[in-house]
Structure 1
Amino acid sequence: MANNKIQARKESLILRELTLILNRQMEDELLKAISISEVRLTNDSELAKVYFSFIAFNEDITLDAIEDQLELRHGKIRKLLASKIQMRAVPELQFIYDTSLDNANRIEEILKKVNKG
């Protein structure tokens, strides 16, 4: 149980720091459009799966463009994270698009169609 609390604390810390890094320390507008919804660490804390979504406030912001920027800036983001967290080893970051909002919107549309018909 103590391990779960420690892991949850690490995940929360990584989520908070990554959010601050993307919003305040990265100059790229694409990365500022990202919202991190969840971070999941593997049991050995060597990999952090970072689930994100984004708001496309202009036509340049697409999933492909954001994924390209995350791949391009991956090293810098990880280095900035390392300077902010006190962990023996900074986990490798794997950015994953969070489809839960898309799924919720799809379900809502289906329910609207069912209620009309």
Structure 2
Amino acid sequence: MAKDYPRSDRIRQQIKKELANLLQKEVKDPSLNQITILDVDVSPCLKHAKVFFVSQEEASEEVMKGLARSMPFLRSQLAKRMTTRGIPKLHFVYDKSIDESIKISKLLDGI
């Protein structure tokens, strides 16, 4: 992860905060209502950012299509709100770790 670089860490935190606000308050797509941004990993060159998220509907095709439809709006709003020259290209990644931990917990409860 690029967290070793202070500038990328600052940008990572700002992207996470702004995306969470945008998805919660300004994006009107109903398929994106239940998305939670968990973390953002910014590349050292600051040109790419992986956005890790969870959703109550998992990474359904509808959620991924909603994110693709919202991408131009999200990038334009990030450009207005951030102090950097360029906005990293966003890559949304569904975080399966919570689902996996629930499965493990259920297995352990059954033992």
TM-score (norm 1): 0.85
Alpha-carbon RMSD: 1.5
Structure 2 residues without counterparts, runs of 5 or longer: none
Write out per-residue CA displacement over residues 55-95 of structure 1, whole angstroms, 9 at most, x where no aligned residue. 24xxxx86211101111221111111111111111000000
Name 2:74's counterpart in structure 1.
Answer: 77
Name 2:62's counterpart in structure 1.
Answer: 65
1-structure distance, mates of 2:18, 2:33: 14
TM-score (norm 2): 0.90
2-structure distance, mates of 1:79, 1:49: 17
Residue 99 of structure 1 and its aligned partner are, at CA, apart by 0.5
Q: Is the 8 A contact 2:27 2:70 kept in 1?
A: no
Letter in 1 for 2:7: I
Name 1:17's counterpart in structure 2.
Answer: 18
Count of residue pairs the alignment pairs up: 108
**Structure ID, larger Rg:** 1
2-structure distance, mates of 1:34, 1:80: 18
2-structure distance, mates of 1:108, 1:93: 32
1-structure distance, mates of 2:5, 2:53: 22
Q: Does 1:90 align with 2:87?
A: yes
User: Aligned residues: percent identity?
Assistant: 26
2-structure distance, mates of 1:39, 1:50: 5
